Amino acid sequence: MLKQMGRASQAVLIILCVLMTVKSFEMEIIPANRIVAQIGETRILTCNTTGCASPRFSWRTQMDNPLGGTVNNHRTYSTLTMNPVSIVNSHDYLCTVFCGEKEKKEKSIKVELYSFPTDPIIEISPSLVAGEQVTVTCKIPDVYPSHHLEVLLKKEEHVLHEENFFQDDSTNTESKTVTYSFNLTAEDIGKEITCVAKLPIPSMDFEPKERVISQKLNANFGPQNTTITASPSNSLMEGEHLKLTCVTESNPPPHTFWRKQLAGDNIQHLIENNVLSIPHAHFTDSGQYICEVINLATNKTEKATVDIFVQGAPNIAELSIEPSTTVQEGENVSIQCFAESNPPSKIILRRKSDSADMGPYSEGGTLLLPSVTFLNGGVYECVAENKFGKSTKEITLNVEYGPKNTTISAIPATVVKEGDTVMMKCTSSGNPVPVISWKKMKATGESVKIFQGATLTIQNIKSADLGLYECEAYNHFGKEEKAVKLLVQGRLEKPDQMIPLIIAFSGVAAIAVPVVVILIYVSRKAKINGSYSLVKALRLKV
Ligand SMILES: *[C@@H]1O[C@H](CO)[C@@H](O)[C@H](O)[C@H]1NC(C)=O
Ligand SMILES: *[C@@H]1O[C@H](CO)[C@@H](O)[C@H](O)[C@H]1NC(C)=O
Ligand SMILES: *[C@@H]1O[C@H](CO)[C@@H](O)[C@H](O)[C@H]1NC(C)=O
């Protein structure tokens, strides 16, 4: 009995052992019973088996709708690929596995769908101008299920508009649009418009459930309130750096043009930039500057002007003589001096060598010298002065004239002894400087040029050297002559018997000279020798 029981239990053990070593047939669906898939993605469902040598697979939807995917059977598993996931995949899928003739197992998986693929798109109605109505449009593309969609439009933190689509009964992805209009104010410029789109489905696990996009309100306006600021100021010193800045309110930033108003309605065009810079301002930079701004988006133009005064010590820009710096006597001469100056300067014109209360003088910038004489020649000076300082310039007036004031000086004297040396120097004024030459009068009355130069030196004087000498001063405006007589003092015993000296330093007419010379000569000879032969005397001279 005990033996029988032992055998029976042995058999049970063996059967149990066999059952345990031969694996039982199992199946699973991966992922497990539920997935959340985004429309457009690719998803794969896998039906896997264990414990079955050659399982057979079958996929179907609960309501026997189309599968919406591709089945691939492998030895122990089968896949269902949804590429892309589309609205037709919104089902419970059932995978059935047959193992041999008798065994069959099945499992289901619920595929839940959503679509929220991209950020919203904001559009703000174009050509924004302050004061006009602006329309903000927020578009949420390809959303599903839209009846969960909530949209918020904000200006900075302020909620402008809220909209939901709870009433929707969408059966596929849809693009939703939210629109809101409001009156744009100048303060709105630059503020941020934000569109917040939410798809809050608590039962579905996906990210993100909220998408946000922002855009700045960028209204076109202006130009307006255009002004020019001048640095250091609109009144500045010469040499300073002048900076003019054109300031305006405009969006988009305008094109800026500078112009300068010139005397006589001429307009000078300057650079095109909102800052006009003149590194070293000059008097001539004084004047009216115009800044013109143009906003190409609004087609509006505005202008601003500024008057610039460049101040400083005068600068003599021009000092000239009319008709020319070299004139002839008798011409009417005018000397002009022009100074750049702000404030205007006092301009004094006068000859430099003249004292303040003497000679021609002018305070107006023009000095008239009617019918000039050689006395008017010289260096003229223009002095321009204002409260910031003074400036001086010189010019020489060259008055041309014929020789004048021709004089002769003799060293030691014109009365000499035989054997002496005499130097006779002739000077003459004239412009250009006269050329001096010496002539000697022959007994025949004919003058012979003997020397060119101012100083005539006669050494070891003999009786033949006696006579009348003429000095001629010449330039191309004329000539002037002077004569001097060279006399020899006799060697007399008694001083009281000395012949009175006759020194001729006068403008004796050339024709009259020989007669005088001869007479003097004859009388002198007669006094020395007691008698005199005119013929002998003349022969001596030749
Ligand atoms: C099926 O399951 C087995 C055992 O758990 C595992 O080793 C195998 O990788 C699975 N196959 C697939 C395709 O998931
Ligand atoms: C501005 O003016 C030009 C020509 O005058 C025109 O073509 C353009 O459309 C205008 N633009 C605007 C924004 O009014
Ligand atoms: C100089 O001016 C006077 C009067 O203004 C005039 O009569 C004279 O002809 C002028 N002389 C010359 C050389 O131009």
pLDDT of 508 strictly over 50: no
pLDDT value at residue 127: 57
Taking CA atoms only, the protein residue closest to ligand 3 atom 4 is 370
pLDDT value at residue 130: 59
* Ligand 3 binding pocket mutation candidate from 324, 331, 368, 371 (most atoms within 8 A of CB): 371
Pair 28, 109 in one domain: yes
Q: Give 402-415 as a DSSP string.
A: EEEEEEEEEES-SE
Q: How confident is the model at residue 533 (pLDDT cuts 50, 70, 90)?
A: very low
Q: How far is CA 265 from CA 261, 272, 282, 287, 288, in A?
A: 7, 21, 21, 12, 11
Percent of the chain residues past pLDDT 90, beyond the cut: 54
Pair 135, 206 in one domain: yes
Nearest 5°: the CA angle 224, 225, 226 is 90
pLDDT tens sequence across 140-150: 999 999 999 99
Pair 102, 147 in one domain: no
Question: From the CB of residue 210, how many other CB atoms can be counted at a distance below 10 Å?
Answer: 13
What gap in Å lies between CA 160 and CA 228, rounded to an integer?
Answer: 39
- Of 123-137, 268-282, 396-410, 421-435, the one with minimum mean pLDDT is 123-137
In CATH, what number is assigned to the domain containing residue 417? 2.60.40.10
> Rounded to the nearest whole angstrom, what is the distance from the C-alpha of residue 28 to the centroid of ligand 1?
9
Ligand nearest to the CA of 50: 1
In a domain, 106, yes or no: yes
Token pair recorded at residue 366 = 């023009």
pLDDT of 200 strictly over 90: yes
In a domain, 1, yes or no: no
Ligand 2 site residues, Cβ closer than 6 angstroms: 297, 299
Q: Which of 306, 316, 255 is nearest to 285 (CA)?
A: 306
Pair 298, 345 in one domain: no
* Ligand 1 binding pocket mutation candidate from 77, 78, 80 (most atoms within 8 A of CB): 77
Q: Are 151 and 240 in contact (CB under 8 A)?
A: no
Pair 26, 107 in one domain: yes
> Rounded to the nearest whole angstrom, what is the distance from the C-alpha of residue 307 to the centroid of ligand 3?
44
User: Domain range for residue 524?
Assistant: 499-541
> Rounded to the nearest whole angstrom, what is the distance from the C-alpha of residue 20 to the centroid of ligand 1?
21
> Rounded to the nearest whole angstrom, what is the distance from the C-alpha of residue 330 to the centroid of ligand 3?
8
Pair 31, 49 in one domain: yes
* Ligand 1 binding pocket mutation candidate from 26, 47, 50, 81 (most atoms within 8 A of CB): 50
pLDDT of 391 strictly over 90: yes
Q: Spell 342-364 as b/e; 16+ CB within 10 A means b.
A: beebebbbbbeeeeeeebbebee
Whether the bond between 323 and the residue before it is cis, its omega within 30 degrees of 0, is yes
Taking CA atoms only, the protein residue closest to ligand 2 atom 4 is 299
- Of 15-19, 54-58, 220-224, 325-329, the one with minimum mean pLDDT is 15-19
What gap in Å lies between CA 268 and CA 100, rounded to an integer?
Answer: 103
Pair 210, 251 in one domain: no
In a domain, 484, yes or no: yes
Count how many domains the chain has. 6
In a domain, 258, yes or no: yes
pLDDT tens sequence across 398-435: 999 999 999 999 888 888 888 888 999 999 999 899 99
Pair 406, 485 in one domain: yes
In a domain, 145, yes or no: yes
Give CA torsion, residues 486, 491, 495, 498, to 10 deg: -40
In a domain, 8, yes or no: no
Strands (E) across 51-155 are located at 56-61, 70-73, 77-82, 92-99, 103-114, 121-124, 133-143, 150-155
Pair 209, 253 in one domain: no
Pair 270, 291 in one domain: yes
Q: How far is CA 215 from CA 121, 212, 234, in A?
A: 10, 10, 42
In a domain, 6, yes or no: no
Greater confidence (7 vs 326) lies with 326
- Of 1-10, 163-172, 243-252, 300-309, the one with minimum mean pLDDT is 1-10
Q: How confident is the model at residue 493 (pLDDT cuts 50, 70, 90)?
A: very low
